[in-house]
Structure 1
Amino acid sequence: MKIVVCVKQVPDTESEKALRPEDLTLDREAVDAVMNEMDEFAVEEALQLAERTGGEVTVLLMGPEQGADTIRKALSMGADRALHVVDDALRGSDAVATSAVLAAALREVGFDLVLLGCEASDARTSLVPAMLAERLGLPQLTFAQKVETDGTEITVERLTDYGHDVVTARLPALVSVVEKINEPRYPTFKGIMAAKKKPVRTLDLSDLELDATEVGAAGAWSAVDDFTVRPPRAAGELVKDEGEGGRQLVAFLAGRKLV
């Protein structure tokens, strides 16, 4: 079984982030970049499925050259090979454009199963899995907390507010996973050394037969018009309770329309 895991490099959630004044996009060079946490669970699930079925795992990343660091981590975890889509025109791509690029890359590499994290920590839209499945004409099994397959069909436990649903589909299919599905493994020294010899194929928009006007800021369906830097946190208001503390608290909350 050929499994492809779509991963994304995102700013470290602990880093202080800022927008670039010149194009109103996130300044990714100013913060540490890491693999999207949800995608780590997707990589781990792909590896476990490959170990059980005898399949192979390919990692697919769309992003700038520094995204190679995230690819190397996935390869160090145990993925077999990688595909990196790099093109300057991709800067500023929204979920619509991202799904178009990933779909074209997936058609290029071929697959039986596509795995993704259920969301990215820098956007948290959870849109790309559904958009990608639609573009590829695949059944989508989203928010999976357990995955089982016999190589022909795939069954997942889909996390819901009331527990879970059991959903089954025939392969090929697309699955997005939640953090409850597994515990991602740490890359070993042996894995890190082996990753240096694993094949990484690089593609650009021309290789995927995509027009630059369809992606990036030029093809985005949404845009940032303006932004304001968050002001420093102001000192809190100290109230000395001399018998009227309750009334003062209610007045404070009411003034902010919280009660």
Structure 2
Amino acid sequence: MGKTVLITGVSGGIGKELADRFAKGGYDLVLVARSESKLVELSKEYKKKYDTYATVIAKDVTLPGVPEGIFAELKEKGIVVDYLVNNAGFGLYGTFLETNLEQEMNMIDINIKALTIMTKLFLPDMVNRGQGGVMNVASLVSFFPGPMMSIYYATKAYVLSFTEALENELSGTGVTVTALCPGLTSTGFVARSGMGESKMFQSGAIMEAGQVAEEGYRGFIRGDTIIIPGARNRLMAFIPRLLPRKWVTRMVRSTQNRTGH
């Protein structure tokens, strides 16, 4: 029997690229995102190109009861989720005093709450079967405090810490837990977060979503705990270990400032 992977936030960017790789690898998929038309298009593409089956669930995982509804629906259909990829998420650029509270609460709901609930629902069955894996899409920023994107950086720090703790708890169960920590990536993230005006974005050190997904997919299949795509990004992740926290925070601020500041 083939394995099935559930991926959230799959309509574009890293999520879509990860889905491409799992489909090519012969996995059946459960595709979760808000845009039904995009999901249906993807399911047809995967069937035609790779002869893999994709179940489409066009729902917003941040809404109350939706993760539980997805879990119940798949149980009812007899679809066993062997792997879970919590990819859905977004960022918000600006100082804490100027950003919008409702958007920030939505960001916490998707980056932290939905990811945690989905893991809580699907993980026990994997452990009972003695095999499976969870990939949480964190970020290179998980390693840093983040002036100008304080809540986004903090949500991704949660994802990394949560993943590392789970990996330790699940040692010996046959279930792996992985944090994918990409740096700046060419996706719709920059436009949605508003960080196009930051010096970091202007620096041009941007990876393609396909390259990030390729490294993420390979590392996940190997059972790696932390995957940081790109040699430059791996080097960057070491900086907080070497410098005082205040210096690191100032350094991030200098790269996050708006151009011209």
TM-score, length-scaled by structure 2: 0.38
Larger relative contact order (Cα-Cα within 8 Å, sequence gap ≥ 6) = 1
Whichever structure has more helix as a proportion of its residues is: 2
**Max Rg structure:** 1
* Greater strand proportion: 1
